[in-house]
Structure 1
Amino acid sequence: MIAVGRKYVFDFDSTLTRVEALDVLAEMTLQGRVEREEIIKEIQHITNLGIDGDISFTESLERRIKLLGANKKHLEPLVKELRKKISKSIASNKEFFEKYSEDIYVISCGFKEFIDPIVKEYNIPSERVYANTFDFDADGNIIGFDEDNVLASHNGKIECLRQLDLDGEVQVIGDGYSDYVMREAGIAHKFFAYTENVHREKAASNADHITPNLDEFLFVNKLPRNISYPKNRIKILLLENVHPIAFDNLSEDGFSVELIDRSLSEEELIEKVKGVHVLGIRSKTQISPKVLDAANKLLVVGAFCIGTTQIDLDYCQKKGVVVFNAPYSNTRSVVELAIGQIIMLMRNIFPRSVEIHQGHWNKTANNSKEVRGKNLGIVGYGNIGKQLSVLAEAIGMRVYYYDLEDRLALGNAIKCSSLEDLLNVSDVVSLHIDDSKNNLNFIGEREFNQMRDGAILINLSRGFVVDIPAMVNALKTKKLAGAAVDVYPEEPASNGPFKTALQGIPNVILTPHIGGSTEEAQMNIADFVPNKIMDYINSGNTVDALNFPNIRLPKQNNAHRFLHIHRNLPGVMARINDEFAHYEMNISGQYLSTNKELGYVITDLDKDYNKKVIQALKKVENTIKFRVLY
């Protein structure tokens, strides 16, 4: 329902567009001049002085036009450039401008010559655009502006709005001093500081409401909008020093993101997670039932790592919380470390390095071997195992593999029918198995005895898959010639002292769970996981979710999307569709996917609908979560 008597007054520069138009014009007119950058900086400085009210607008305008050296011929390409720089949330909410055009005004200290063509596309006619106009000489050069125009004077917007004498509540949406003074002067009822493009402290501190995007403004005023819930109201908490790229990706999409550089205890997390919609963690943060019960608004958990044993996946599913991880993003990093460790161990490099550090020269070829022609046994032929297979074969190793699942060999790799067969034939055994509890002590005394004398073991998978006392014994009795261990049965929650029975044994490489910790891997993870999170929040897609039925759908135009998560029990879908029928909803598309415990249905509907259906759907028996997407 259209709000009666309300008028909306928009600024143009840095509000309807992402830029100050005269700054863009300067970049065009000063092209090729040696002092171009210096002049542009000066123009931007003068612009900011005027916007913040530190100099009069008249002075700001005079000084900028003098520096511009612009001509009428520059205006057409300027308009073309400004069309590319419409504010993101303005462009996505064109429906609001079309539906409420009679109540929308533009009052700007910019110029009608470039404002009119832009706002015309948003159904705002020239007669509701109040702005300055240029003065031209006979050659079309811009030599000044109409000084009789009220907007050419200091605080001209106040006088302009006063002369308009608009009926009803007047709301001003802008980013600077000249916008909020209209409210201060008492001729506007509310001022919304628009911070999507620039945050000016003076404007924000004097605002009735800070609106990071148009969605927030429309939400507050209960006006039609592109999305049902503004992204700036969706809170994301990233723990454990997640790569800054993740923060940037999520922030740029409009979400409110908080970074904490450490893991939180259960007690700390229970308090912190209240009101959080998305939680990003790495391997040390435990997502327990108590944490999930406290997370009253949680929609998604993003694991910025491969393993998910720290997350109660079943309870997440029960609470309707989707979980994503990064199963492929650090594969190359882990594989390269494995290759490096194999070479270092086969060459007996670390004992030699320790001796040199201790001041002892011991040049010898004893126990130093090439990897070419040696047998590599890969236990677990998943993403990491397969890529290790390819690289190892490229440097001349013969590859054997064992996996519980039926996986096809890459290159010349040979599949072993049993773990014992692989251990019998391998000079090097590299473990790449998952974090199933069934894999506890997967390699123990029996398996060490089945290995070749003088073999090497690499464990870059999980600490608990190897029986450490049995491994220590195998190393000390020379059954194993060396080992590389990156993971341990128990690992500290933070950097500091650490003890393991493997310390001090020759030709053993010990690293602190850094197999996937390269800059490239962390950047890949920080890109992959946020994309999955954003895809779910923005469109409802659950592809690659660990605990949810997988659905991928294109975004629909001119439709609303309802997401309904429920227990997978007979009759739930029938009751959902009964409600749609009762409220005469026209369904344009419906997609259901289930697993043993959960049903997830996405329904696209025509734009106009009875809002009472939302409460009805939330009350359907066995509903876990429901939200309107857009």
Structure 2
Amino acid sequence: MTTTELTLGQSAVPAAEQPYYIIDFDSTFTKVEALDILGGISLAGRPEGEDAIHQIKTITDRGMAGEISFTESLNLRLGLLKAHRDQLPALIESLMGKISDSFQRNKEFLTENADRIYIVSNGFREFILPIVTSLGIQEGHVFANTFVYDENGAIIGFDPENPLSANDGKSKVIRDLNLSGEVYVIGDGYTDYEIRASGLANRFYAFTENVLRPSVVEKADHVAHSLDDFLYHNNLSRSQSYPKSRIKVLLLENVHPVAVQLFELEGFNVEIRKEALDEDELIEAIRDVSILGIRSKTNLTARVLENANKLMAVGAFCIGTNQIDLDTCTQKGIAVFNAPYSNTRSVVELAIGEIIMLIRSIVPKSNLMHKGGWDKSAKNSFEVRGKKLGLVGYGNIGTQLSVVAEALGMEVYFYDIVDKLALGNARKCKSLDDLLAVADIISLHTDGRKENKNLFSYREFSLMKNGVIFLNLSRGHIVDIPALVDAIERGKIAGAGIDVFPLEPKTNNEEFTSALRKLPNVILTPHIGGSTEEAQVNIGNFVPGKLLEYINNGSTYGSVNFPELQLPMLKGSHRLLHIHANVPGILAKMNAIFANYHINIHGQYLKTNEQIGYVITDVAKEYAHEVVEELRSIDNTIKFRLLY
């Protein structure tokens, strides 16, 4: 996709002056080494199969790295394979599903430039030809080995007359082609570099989308992380305006591996750190980052954002965003997304579990038993049925907790500063004071805005019933801890469940300190309301999904600070994304530029909030380069992106 570096989609090089492109097959055109896959097919179920497959892969890697000669590598692998002609269709079917992603994305380039593209491989024509021709490669431009079979169809070797069966065979093929003009080689192995070393190619691109061989990379003129990267480097027609391999994603605080996989599958350059970073550490880490993923412990301050010159989007892998300076993000054109629903059920279940444990005084009884005591009395042990549950905050978690609590026979009361529709038999209280006076159990589910600091202090605890159960599974700074401790020690609160704290350890290795420690009938949990496997998987899928929609398509639906737009998929157009200060006349200026250059608009979308406006324009692919610069130069422009 794109950051601030923008180029148009059409090749800047006339076709007649373009180089010839020599492309390897195994681990370049496809994600895998075909003979490794064939080994998995031919050796399946054999006693020696697993060991033979491992040997084949080892020999492949040694040959590709130049540690042994190609001919030796080929002979050794074929001897281990024990393959048959009848197994080739299964191999071809498997390889069809393993074509490199960037090659599939750029089929149009391969087809349009088929007369200048050659597949030169030490693999075998029988399985290479159907794969590459499916993406537009000309049959006559495919050079590879051929199998030799016995009378029963068993593969027993290769054609020794084929130059590609010998060492330095690729160089001989290129020499015989006698290509007039520059030659660029794209491949992942040492035999691809040999073409450049022999003087028959002007550039060698080490292709690393599927495998990175250090001994090959160090020989390369350039590293191509993908075909997109190669095309971008040479300003050629491509499916992505900016290669994702050049877009850095930084994921902090041990986000779920599914999130990492989603970004890596899209081809992004992903860095993972298990811990939260303090302000100075984050300033250093964020300089080249385009997408940042955090949880609740990393504070994204204005000072950090001033050093985030490439940052386009932030994903909060949690519900809250109070750890993020949203105003500064908006001013800098950085879209922020969170996960408002993904861990709702997990928090609700923890709340219900703690309510039952606390109202039954299970914790002190359990602690006593661990010391050898035995207290079988029913004193201070109650059912939840018929009790009045007071919910402070009636959002996603509050409403679902309301439904579950009613199913357990509880009466539900709620208070929210926003007018909310009551679910089931829940009753809305006119004020927080009214709720505190009626509730037997109070559970906090408010947001983390600064105004909510110490929302619950000495006054609020004094308004509660004696012996109330109190839960805070929302934000740590909402509760005045000394006031809470006082209420517990006086017996005003009979039991408390606290999951969030004003100050929390940054890592699991730091000691947790709090005046709440060792108080009776108090459940302390380390901010794990949403920490279930199910919730983390949900968040790990949800947040990257929103970030990828924004990066790939421009959609901002679900953003907490941007005008929300759900955009159609981009087809047959270029998409221009313009973020600007919300002042009058921007759209008129943009359309005047389009009119001046006679550009056909396929679709246009505009939405604003108090701070910014967001205009998306889909235009015909043919337009002058000056259009981009004029759009970026409009007064009050914050950010401009180009997608195609």
The interval holding the TM-score normalised by the smaller chain is: over 0.9
CA contact (8 A) 2:115 2:138 kept: no
8 Å CA contact 1:193–1:211 kept in 2: the answer is yes
The one-letter code of the counterpart of 1:607 is K
Q: Which amino acid aligns with 1:107?
A: V
RMSD over aligned CA atoms reads 2.3
Letter in 2 for 1:510: L
Q: What is the TM-score with the length of structure 2 in the denominator?
A: 0.92
| Corresponding residue SS for 2:184 | strand
Query: Residue 613 of structure 2 is aligned with which of 599, 607, 614?
Result: 599
Q: CA deviation at 1:497?
A: 4.1
Distance 2:296 2:222 in 1: 39
Deviates more, 1:297-306 or 1:491-500: 491-500
Shift of 1:195: 1.3
* Superimposed CA distance per residue, residues 70-127 of structure 1 (whole angstroms, 9 cap, x where no aligned partner): 4444444433332222110001001211222221111111222222222223332222
Unaligned runs of 5+ in 2: 1-11
Partner of 2:212: 199
TM-score (norm 1): 0.94
1:535 aligned residue: 549
One-letter identity of the residue aligned with 2:540: A
Q: Secondary structure at the match of 2:289?
A: coil
> Counterparts of 2:475 and 2:40 in 1: how far apart (Å)?
56
Q: What is aligned with 2:27? A: 14
Of 590, 593, 596 in structure 2, the residue corresponding to residue 576 of structure 1 is 590
> Counterparts of 1:270 and 1:23 in 2: how far apart (Å)?
44
Counterpart residue number, 1:220: 233
**SS of the residue 2:330 aligns to:** helix
- Following superposition, the deviation at residue 192 of structure 1 comes to 0.9
Secondary structure of the residue that 1:429 maps to in structure 2? Answer: strand
Deviation at 1:173, TM superposition (A): 0.5
Aligned equivalent of 2:529: 515
Q: CA deviation at 1:303?
A: 1.4
Deviations 1:170-198, CA, capped at 9 Å, x for gaps: 11101111111111222222111111112
Number of positions where the alignment pairs a residue of Structure 1 with one of Structure 2: 630
User: Please, which moves more after superposition, 423-432 or 399-408?
Assistant: 399-408
Distance 2:483 2:35 in 1: 74
Residue 4 of structure 2 is matched in structure 1 by none
The structure 2 residue matched to 1:180, chosen from 193, 196, 199, is 193
Q: By how many angstroms is 1:52 displaced?
A: 2.6
Q: What pairs with 1:200-349 in structure 2 (closer than 5 Å)?
A: 200-349=213-362
Letter paired with 1:273: I
Q: CA deviation at 1:477?
A: 2.7
State the 1:140 CA deviation. Answer: 4.3
Q: Which moved more, 1:74-83 or 1:395-404?
A: 74-83
Which runs of 5 or more structure 1 residues have no equivalent in the other structure? none
Q: Which moved more, 1:199-208 or 1:60-69?
A: 60-69
% same residue: 56
Distance 1:43-1:492 versus aligned 2 partners, 3 A rule: closer
Cα offsets for 1:321-359 (capped at 9, x unmatched): 001111122222221221121112111122223333445
Contact residue 270 and residue 295 of structure 1 kept, 8 A: yes
Higher relative CO (Cα under 8 Å, sequence separation at least 6) belongs to 2
CA contact (8 A) 1:300 1:323 kept: yes
- Pairing 1:371-386 to 2, within 5 Å after superposition: 371-386=384-399
1:491 positional shift: 3.8
Could you tell me which residue of structure 2 aligns to residue 46 of structure 1? 59
1:383-394 pair list within 5 angstroms: 383-394=396-407
Q: Give the SS at the match of 2:484.
A: helix
Alignment match, 1:83: 96
Task: Compare 252-261 and 149-158 and name the one that shifted more.
Answer: 252-261
Return closer, same or farther for 1:545/1:60 CA change in 2, 3 Å cut-off: same
- Decide which of 409, 418, 432 is 1:405's aligned counterpart: 418
Match of 1:2 among 13, 18, 25: 13
Show CA shifts across 1:518-558 (max 9, x none): 33333332222222112211111111100001112232233
**Matched residues in 1 for 2:226 and 2:258: separation?**
22
Corresponding position of 2:628: 614
What amino acid maps onto 1:40 in structure 2? I
Give the CA deviation at 1:32.
Answer: 4.9
CA distance in 1, matches of 2:519, 2:394: 29
- 2:430 and 2:561 map into 1 onto residues whose CA distance is 31
Q: Quick check: 263-272 or 325-334, which moved more?
A: 263-272
Residues 1:489 and 2:484 are matched in the alignment: no
Q: How far off its partner does 1:255 sit? A: 1.1
Letter in 1 for 2:555: N
Alignment-derived partner of residue 409 in structure 2: 396
Distance in 2 (alpha carbons) for counterparts of 1:31 and 1:488:
56
- The 10-residue stretch of structure 1 (329-338 or 445-454) with the greater mean CA deviation from structure 2: 445-454
Aligned partners of 1:116 and 1:125 also within 8 Å:
no
Q: 1:486 & 1:110 partners in 2: Cα distance?
A: 59
CA offset at residue 31 of structure 1?
4.7
Secondary structure of 1:97's counterpart equals helix
Query: In 2 relative to 1, CA 59–504 (structure 1 residues): closer, same or farther, beyond 3 Å?
Result: closer
1:277 match: secondary structure: strand
Corresponding position: 1:557 with 2:568: no
Q: Distance in 2 between matches of 1:275 and 1:162?
A: 42
Query: What per-residue deviation string (whole Å, max 9, x for no partner) do you get for residues 23-46 of structure 1?
Result: 333333445545443433333333
Question: In structure 2, which of residues 599, 615, 624 is the aligned counterpart of residue 585 of structure 1?
Answer: 599
Following superposition, the deviation at residue 382 of structure 1 comes to 1.1
